[in-house]
Structure 1
Amino acid sequence: MVRRVLMPGRFQPFHNGHYSALRSLLEEYDEAVLAVGSAQEGFTCQNPFTAGERLEMIDALLRRDGLRNRVWLIPVPDIRMPLAWTTHVLAMAPRVEAVASGNPHVLYIYKWAGLKTIELKLHEPYRYNGSRIRSVMLEGGEWRSLVPDIIAEYIDSVNGVERVRKVCSSGVY
């Protein structure tokens, strides 16, 4: 039987902290399911990249590093009901035996629902944080070292930094 773990997140953008956590999970599990949350969102300050863009950028990284056959990518829209969201995610994903997250709220809900949970040991969480990376982009700072190089190239290809600046300055949140 395949040992599989679920790792939900918005991945706005997928950064080195996410990748470190994923690689760590793949040391213990045969496969991982990345549930790309807020899939209905895009072109907002909190969620500047669409679900399709996030799937593409993560896919490119996994293919380059030979991990694509071990990771499922599942887009999951928000439903704004935390308990229902847990089963919603599980219904969209292949069977998993555990849920891994650095978010205590997510872990609490899945544990309450009876699943095994894994608290991710976040790699430099202040540095590798999607909100912070988007802020650095907004301010014109150096953000490329915070994401895998192929992700930076993808963000450049969709004019991602310009998008972050536009959607964050327009008051669209």
Structure 2
Amino acid sequence: MRGLIVGRFQPFHNGHLMLIKHVLDECNEIIIAIASAQFNYLLKDPFTAGERVEMIHNALKDADIDLARCYIIPIINDENNARWFLHLRSYLPKFDIVYSGNEYVRMLLADYVKVSDVRFYDREKYNASRIRELMINDGEWRALVPRSVYEFINRIDGVKRLKIIANAESKPQEW
């Protein structure tokens, strides 16, 4: 059986890693779909799709997860939510079940595929919006992400990037 998770992973954090381990306990393979792949250098989406692929790949490798069981695939958004599932299917290998803690995602997909309602792991703590806010405000975020993600963000000056984006006079457009 092949499971699917969809997320922006901005950044990839320990809650995401716990979810992936859970899915791999139930499925032979996992597809990790990186949503909003076309967005980057934005407050909500500071990292490129390629950077997110690298973060996830390194975190899985460091967690001793068999990468042969994992597909990491960036997905460009489709602004038409009614056709979103068909859009997903065109980008991804076949999947049997979607794991999501997002009620909206479950609603969009429920007519097309089996959906497992998963509870986020300590969502108050492991929340990418909160982690980005901590990064901008020099808070303690290191323990919230895998070591390799922390190192990667430091290597690309990701915190500096976020601070510049947060203080930009003119906000970039998403569309």
Q: TM-score, normalised by structure 1?
A: 0.94
Q: Does 1:40 align with 2:38?
A: yes
State whether residues 45 and 164 of structure 1, in contact with CA within 8 Å, keep that contact through their aligned partners in structure 2: yes
Structure 1 position 172, deviation (Å) = 3.6
**Paired letter, 1:104:** E
Whole-angstrom distance in 2 between the partners of 1:66 and 1:47: 26
| Deviation per residue, 1:26-46 (Å, 9 max, x gap) | 000001100001000111101
**Structure 2 residues without counterparts, runs of 5 or longer:** none
Whole-angstrom distance in 2 between the partners of 1:166 and 1:147: 21
The equivalent position to 1:53 in structure 2, one of 48, 51, 73, is 51
Residue of structure 2 in register with 1:96 after alignment: 95
Structure 1 position 79, deviation (Å) = 1.7
Paired residues, what number?
170
The equivalent position to 2:146 in structure 1, one of 145, 148, 161, is 148
Percent sequence identity is 36
- Which aligned runs of 4 or more in structure 1 are off by greater than 3 angstroms? none
Whole-angstrom distance in 2 between the partners of 1:103 and 1:169: 30
State whether residues 3 and 96 of structure 2, in contact with CA within 8 Å, keep that contact through their aligned partners in structure 1: yes
State whether residues 3 and 98 of structure 2, in contact with CA within 8 Å, keep that contact through their aligned partners in structure 1: yes
Q: After superposition, where does 1:57-136 map in structure 2 within 5 Å?
A: 57-64=55-62, 65-112=64-111, 114-136=112-134
Whole-angstrom distance in 1 between the partners of 2:136 and 2:74: 26
**Structure 1 residues without counterparts, runs of 5 or longer:** none
RMSD: 1.1
Whole-angstrom distance in 2 between the partners of 1:162 and 1:125: 25
